Amino acid sequence: QGIGAAVAAKFAESGARVCAVDLTLERAEALAATLRDRGADAIGIGCDVSRRDEVATMVAAAQRRFGRVDILVNNAGIIRPAMLHRMTGAQWDEVLAVHLTGTFNCLQAVAPGMMERRYGRIINLTSAAGVLGTIGQINYSAAKAGIVGLTMSAAKELARYGITVNAIAPGAATPMTETIRTDDRFRDKYLERIPMGRWAEPEEIAPVFVFFASEAASYVTGQVLAADGGMTIR
């Protein structure tokens, strides 16, 4: 859903064969069916990226269907908001497991094949929260900051194999941002932080992912691109 669905659609439109992955298999299959109706070659896979066994199964399914994985987009995410002094250990662990450990699990699962073929494009999702911090989501901010470090380190390790690793910090109107976009307590405050004065639609963010996966970005690695309407301008 949200950015993930828009990115899958844009890759399909650009000629990629797509594995649409979601925690809910039915939702993944529904998106894949929509892409196939548009002429794309796509399959849906259910996966909890925080579980290494499910990630291994996901990659194996993609390889059986398409032979290899050339592009990985690490987009899975959840929020469990709470102020620091009220956050439970479970809220902390769950967000770190999906965002940071999930990104690591998927990256590690596809890297060996990419290294063997000496080609790969890995695109991770971070956030302005990982760069600037945020109130009420210290777990999310910590996970997203961790993804920045993971991206930089993986880019340095994998560059010799012809693999690029980059990250995108988007700011879009998605189910995950619905509360801060619509709640009177947060809406105006957050909009004031965006110089462009609005949230992007997911379809506006999707082309950035395709750029990082394209030959136009063949010499770009270890970068964090903020597609956030200027929120992170310093």
Which residues are CB-contacts of 43 (< 8 A; sequence separation ≥ 6)?
18, 19, 20, 32, 61, 62, 65
- The owner of tokens 């940071």 is 100
Q: Which of 140, 161, 190, 219 is catalytic?
A: 140
- The owner of tokens 């976009």 is 181
Spatial distance between the Cα atoms of 69 and 106, rounded to a whole number of angstroms: 11
Residues 50 and 101 sit within 8 Å (Cβ to Cβ)? yes
Spatial distance between the Cα atoms of 213 and 192, rounded to a whole number of angstroms: 32
Residues 166 and 222 sit within 8 Å (Cβ to Cβ)? yes
- Joined together, the tokens standing for residue 72 give 């990985």
Q: What string of H, E and C letters represents the secondary structure of 61-97? A: HHHHHHCCCCEEEECCCCCCCECHHHCCHHHHHHHHH
Strand partners, 46: 22
- 16 backbone dihedrals φ, ψ, rounded to 5°: -80, 150
> Is 219 an active-site residue?
no
- 64 backbone dihedrals φ, ψ, rounded to 5°: -60, -40
Task: Give the residue numbers marked as catalytic.
Answer: 140
